Structure 1
Amino acid sequence: MLNCCLHFCLSGARLPRPLKSSHVNAYSSFSAVRSSADSAMAALNSVRVAAVQMTSVNDLASNFSTCSRLVKEAASAGAKMICFPESFSFLGPKSEDSLLVAEALDGPIMQKYCSLAREYSIWLSLGGFQVKGHDAHLRNTHVIVDDAGNIRSTYSKIHLFDVDVPGGSTYRESSFTEPGDLLILFYAIGKDVAAVDSPIGRLGLTICYDLRFPEIYQQLRFNHDAQVILVPSAFTPVTGQAHWEILLRARAIETQCYVIASAQAGKHNEKRESYGDTLIIDPWGTVVGRLPGMIIGYVTLKSSLIFPVSDRLSTGITVADIDLSLIDSVRKKMPIAEVWGSIHALPSSTPWVSTMHQFFSGVVSTLERLPEASLDKTLKQRKPFDFWRPASS
């Protein structure tokens, strides 16, 4: 018998979990196991979704071919919707490469994906599409396409990734991307928080770095009635290893929504690598679908042969059933909406609330009237934020 020993190369690493899983009794420590009647009802209220993991490159045709294959697989598996990661259609080594392929939403690239949805009668979540913006900038836009090939909703990323990552990498998304329309979350002023009905429930749209800003998720849940939140992403290996799953499960628990996080994975080019680990999480915070994306360890056989332990492919889909009755059950058993509403849903007639609302409305109006050149100058002057700098004393 071979003497095997597993050496983990990443702290806290795990062996890959099954790609398909069930959330029956997902909160067993909180309630009794579902009865057969409950299980039957859950089956009636369930709808299948697929989440993609892929390694996009700077080749539109190659990426479309990959997406086409995955759409076919998802449709064959009975999925009503398939969710793609950020930059699914194009990811180049230089930021200016994305500007070269950016187009209007009715352009030829998006039309090919709309045709794909129509061909397979499946909804598409196209997260992080390069939409042409103003003055040498683009908008990082999440597009929802229905099964007839129609664009149902869009959301342009609000929080741009301007960060110095340990190891020398600097990301400055604002140098080529303009943010979505201004949003002052507490007062619900702004146009670019998006929720839309779909076969898998009411969707809340976000993109990647938004994940670190819980306010937008609170808005989607409590003000826009989201049931399923989509987080198409391309996390770096450093930030992904540290925070990816923790943040996603927190957003699911806080909002009591399903969270679907499709991820870019692996080496895109010499300058860019993504963490992967595509996840589907239920409203109780349980992972019900997963595609690990990085090598998590090595197996040594008889102290001589070494093999990597990872997912078989960095490209693929994980499938899970969205149980709408589970959302209702979790929300009834842990009624956080009642407390949230009593604190945040203050009547507009309250003097200070009315005054602040007027003030921030004025701020929005002023910014909307600013010349585009002024806004562009402001964007260019932004500096990357360094999460790892020591706190000031």
Structure 2
Amino acid sequence: MSFVAIAQYCASNLITKNLKTCVELLEKASNYGAKMIFFPEASDFIAKDSEETLSLTLSINNSPFVNGIKDAALKKKMWVSIGIHELSHDPKRIYNTHLLIDSQGSIIETYRKLHLFDVNIKDGPNLLESKYTIRGEKICDPTPTPLGNLGLMVCYDLRFPELSLELRKKGADILTFPSVFTVKTGQAHWEVLLRARAIENQCYVIASAQIGRHNEKRISYGHAMIVDPWGTILARCPETNEPSLAFAEIDLDRLKRIRTEIPVSNHRRTDLFEKGY
């Protein structure tokens, strides 16, 4: 079994401050014995508007935030999953990126969010992520880690079960969703979606999250959690705006037992559904 940590905090537009918070959480998780830590989407910053987002975004190689996380991972010999903003070829749009960093401080996988959050909800959020973000064009194969094979996604990807299923078919043991869920959608959908992805794919689900008021326009739901393949919530961060951690064991023997007892993948009617969905 592997001991892991999920992080929850409230990012601002102050990148240096956000880096300090993340490094402190990483060091605390290491002191508790975690082999890997999972940070939220947009851990580097949350800006007040799209113009500020564009002005703050850097390339991965030139990002002091990314370099600081890599250095901390190497120092503590920890694996890291983290969401950041990434510079693109388009001067008016960026990538929403999920990085996987190993215990040597090396980036071993880069996933760009496939599904962009363009919504207009009555009495709720009105957001147009595609205004300043380019959608990704590639599903990353699950990556071997000390925990098991990790499938990388970001936030709104959670609502598209075919992506999680594709990663499961490719060998994922764990599905990851670094997120910045809104309060309205989080209250209604967050837990049920995470548990559904865990149950239907018989995978662990690890969902780190932003929480609290980032600025006058943005408030995030929080409730970062780890769910096992049976749909049981193993760990959940507290409802506080203060930076926090939650911990759980990833038990691949339990995962294999659940898949053996209810062999869903063997029962799927691939003869009837396109691509086996």
| TM-score of the alignment, normalized to the shorter chain, above 0.5 | yes
Q: Check conservation: 1:153, 1:194, Cα contact below 8 A.
A: no
What residue in structure 2 maps to residue 202 of structure 1?
Answer: 149
Q: State the secondary structure of the residue aligned to 1:229.
A: strand
| Alignment pair present for 1:320 and 2:233 | no
What residue in structure 1 maps to residue 78 of structure 2?
Answer: 122
Q: Check conservation: 1:193, 1:216, Cα contact below 8 A.
A: no
Once the two structures are TM-superposed, the CA of residue 59 in structure 1 deviates from its matched residue by 0.3
Give the aligned residue type for 1:73. K
| Alignment pair present for 1:235 and 2:181 | yes
Q: State the secondary structure of the residue aligned to 1:78.
A: coil
**CA–CA separation in structure 2 for the residues paired with 1:260 and 1:328:** 18
* CA-atom RMSD in angstroms: 1.7
| Alignment pair present for 1:252 and 2:252 | no
- Which structure has the greater CA radius of gyration? 1
Once the two structures are TM-superposed, the CA of residue 346 in structure 1 deviates from its matched residue by 8.4
Q: State the secondary structure of the residue aligned to 1:82.
A: strand
Q: Check conservation: 1:48, 1:81, Cα contact below 8 A.
A: yes
1:345/1:55 CA distance change after superposition, 3 Å: same
**CA–CA separation in structure 1 for the residues paired with 2:243 and 2:51:** 26
What residue in structure 2 maps to residue 221 of structure 1?
Answer: 168
Once the two structures are TM-superposed, the CA of residue 315 in structure 1 deviates from its matched residue by 1.5
Q: State the secondary structure of the residue aligned to 2:168.
A: helix
Give the aligned residue type for 2:62. G
| Alignment pair present for 1:162 and 2:118 | yes
1:203/1:341 CA distance change after superposition, 3 Å: farther
Give the aligned residue type for 1:59. L
**CA–CA separation in structure 1 for the residues paired with 2:194 and 2:51:** 30
Give 2:47's match in structure 1, choosing from 92, 95, 101: 92
Once the two structures are TM-superposed, the CA of residue 342 in structure 1 deviates from its matched residue by 4.4
**CA–CA separation in structure 1 for the residues paired with 2:260 and 2:74:** 37
Give the aligned residue type for 1:138. I
Aligned runs of 1:5-84 on 2, under 5 Å?
Answer: 46-84=1-39
Give the aligned residue type for 1:216. L
| Alignment pair present for 1:333 and 2:266 | no
TM-score, normalisation: structure 2: 0.95
Structure 1: tracts of 5 or more residues without a match: 1-45, 182-190, 294-310, 348-352, 354-393
Give the aligned residue type for 1:229. L
Q: State the secondary structure of the residue aligned to 2:12.
A: coil
Q: State the secondary structure of the residue aligned to 1:215.
A: helix
**CA–CA separation in structure 1 for the residues paired with 2:185 and 2:129:** 16
Q: Check conservation: 2:158, 2:193, Cα contact below 8 A.
A: yes
Give the aligned residue type for 2:18. N
| Alignment pair present for 1:147 and 2:103 | yes
What residue in structure 1 maps to residue 63 of structure 2?
Answer: 108
After superposition, give the CA deviation of every residue in 1:333-373 in whole Å (9 maximum; x if it has no partner). 010111227447989xxxxx9xxxxxxxxxxxxxxxxxxxx
Structure 2: tracts of 5 or more residues without a match: none
Q: What fraction of aligned residue pairs are identical, expressed as a percent? A: 42
Q: State the secondary structure of the residue aligned to 2:230.
A: coil
Once the two structures are TM-superposed, the CA of residue 113 in structure 1 deviates from its matched residue by 1.3
Once the two structures are TM-superposed, the CA of residue 170 in structure 1 deviates from its matched residue by 1.3
**CA–CA separation in structure 1 for the residues paired with 2:270 and 2:216:** 51
Q: Check conservation: 2:125, 2:182, Cα contact below 8 A.
A: no
Once the two structures are TM-superposed, the CA of residue 292 in structure 1 deviates from its matched residue by 3.5
Q: State the secondary structure of the residue aligned to 1:320.
A: strand
What residue in structure 2 maps to residue 356 of structure 1?
Answer: none
Once the two structures are TM-superposed, the CA of residue 282 in structure 1 deviates from its matched residue by 0.2
Once the two structures are TM-superposed, the CA of residue 112 in structure 1 deviates from its matched residue by 1.6
